[in-house]
Amino acid sequence: MSVGAVVAIYFVVWWITLFAVLPWGVRAQGDTADRVPGTDPGAPARPGLGRKMLATTVLAAVVTGGLVYLLTSGAVTLDDLPMPFETKGG
pLDDT at 89 over 80: no
Q: Is 28 exposed, middle or buried (0-12, 13-18, 19+ CB in 10 A)?
A: middle
Contact 25, 48 (CB under 8 A): yes
Look over the chain and give the mean of its residue pLDDT values, rounded to a whole number: 88
CA pair distance 18, 60, nearest whole angstrom: 9
Each residue's pLDDT tens digit, 51-79: 999 999 999 999 999 999 988 898 887 78
| Residue/partner pairs of 16-25 with CB below 8 Å, 24 or more apart | 17/56, 17/59, 17/60, 17/63, 18/52, 18/53, 18/56, 21/52, 21/55, 21/56, 21/59, 22/52, 24/52, 24/55
pLDDT at 87 over 80: no
Percent of the chain with pLDDT over 90: 48
Q: What is the pLDDT of residue 62?
A: 98
